[in-house]
Structure 1
Amino acid sequence: MIEMMNVSKKYPNGITAVNNISIQINDGEFIYVVGPSGAGKSTFIKMMYREEKATTGRIIVGKFDLMKIKERNVPYLRRHVGVVFQDFKLLPRLTVFENIAYAMEVIGAKPKEINKRVNEVLDLVGLKHRMRMFPNELSGGEQQRVAIARAIVNTPEVLIADEPTGNLDPDTSLEIMHILEKINQRGTTVVMATHNSSIVNQMKHRVVAIENGRIVRDQQEGDYGYED
């Protein structure tokens, strides 16, 4: 479960990106985070994996208190929270298999376990036939599928997706969404920041709208609610 209580984030330049937000996200939910550019969406989700630290309030993610967690323990949090970015962030000199395996190697997993689990997630995202290729040999959609596989290879309880379809065409975006839904159906909580109105309106989930750093709408099976 993710819980934020009276959370605010003020940057050193004086800008308040998140202003007194309180929200509860239950295990296994799928949440869209929507709102205009500059509304505070990115800060909101970055606080969930401690890329940004809140200025005030309380944030609980599973067993972790993110206001009290020591910096040396943030990597342990990241084992429980996978992150997918708009620009993939793959390592260019590693193959598809190696990019995904790296996420397990850094936590000390054994080679036999790595091989088994990487093959499982490659199967899930439909890329077993591409495992020996390098990122520059893949399409954008394939690169994003590798990024998703890497984010879930350590079986996190939460998957944070920051504009995961932002650089993709509509058909590829739908393919990515079907993978995210499949992951969610297996029990992983998914929190996805997006500007993709057609996906939000077509593939219904809870919608949390943020404007000027505040939650202005929290709606089950909601619509996007903004003009493109």
Structure 2
Amino acid sequence: MIEMKDVWKAYPNGVMAVNGINISIDKGEFVYIVGPSGAGKSTFVKLMYREVKPTKGTIHFNGTDITKLKNRQVPKLRRQIGVVFQDFKLLPKLTVYENIAFAQEVIEEHPRNIRTRVMEVLDLVKLQHKARSFPDELSGGEHQRVSIARSIVNNPSVVIADEPTGNLDPENAWSIMDIFEEINRSGTTVVMATHNKSIVNTMKRRVIAIEDGMIVRDELRGEYGYEA
């Protein structure tokens, strides 16, 4: 599903964020990306959805080399990918419903289908009662639930999450992980960069550890392996 071959990424300031990575992630997997701060985890996940382009190497997503896509082709790629951020990135002047519906309006989905699908994903994240609320009326955990609902509303084949529990207390973090587990059980691939040692060690999924831009460990049912 996702395959990186000899991928390197150097930034203009001289930082080599990714150093010769070779990795494959299969459909339906749940993968944690771990490592020290500054190890290259965020660059690694951004390469998957073409937020950044590699300096060298190829990245295939569902058989397409996304490093060769023209900029105008990238939005079509991202319809297949849901992205969840640590800082939520909700639009403050739109309601919860409108924030999620916006992702479907962009792809020109029929209004009737939009309403049905938005309410489905709000039900999944247990926020149907907040459909008319605005972001400033939500708790941190609710913000992240809306962000997750928005990421899956277009039925992506993969969800990529960059520190999705980083700003949440433990109770909210675990409730968010329950949602990711349910998403994964439905067949969606989940790739998550995280510093949450407790979650990684408890849930026992595939763990890819990155240090200095290189993969130093790739284990099925792995552990975090660093001090929290």
How far off is 1:65 after superposition?
Answer: 1.2
1:66-215 superposed matches below 5 A: 66-215=66-215
Ranges of 4+ aligned residues in structure 1 off by more than 2 Å: none
Work out the CA distance in 1 between the residues paired with 2:62 and 2:176: 26
Letter in 2 for 1:64: T
How far off is 1:222 after superposition?
Answer: 0.4
Question: 1:11-48, CA deviations, whole angstroms, 9 ceiling, x for partnerless residues?
Answer: 11111100000000000000000000000000000000
Q: Is the 8 A contact 1:64 1:77 kept in 2?
A: no
Letter in 1 for 2:34: V
Work out the CA distance in 2 between the residues paired with 1:27 and 1:212: 27
State the partner residue of 1:21: 21
Runs of at least 5 residues in structure 2 that lack an aligned partner in the other structure: none
Work out the CA distance in 2 between the residues paired with 1:26 and 1:101: 29
Question: 1:197-226, CA deviations, whole angstroms, 9 ceiling, x for partnerless residues?
Answer: 000011110000000000000000000000
Work out the CA distance in 2 between the residues paired with 1:103 and 1:50: 18
Work out the CA distance in 2 between the residues paired with 1:61 and 1:126: 31
TM-score of the two chains, using structure 2 as the length reference: 0.99
1:32 aligns with 2:63: no
Question: 1:92-141, CA deviations, whole angstroms, 9 ceiling, x for partnerless residues?
Answer: 01000000000000111110010010011001110001101001101000
TM-score of the two chains, using structure 1 as the length reference: 0.99
Percent identical among aligned pairs is: 66
1:4-19 superposed matches below 5 A: 4-19=4-19
Question: 1:155-214, CA deviations, whole angstroms, 9 ceiling, x for partnerless residues?
Answer: 000100000000000010000000001000000000000000000011110000000000
Question: 1:68-107, CA deviations, whole angstroms, 9 ceiling, x for partnerless residues?
Answer: 1110000001100110000000000100000000000011
SS for the counterpart of 2:191 is strand
Q: Please, what is the CA RMSD of the aligned residues? A: 0.6
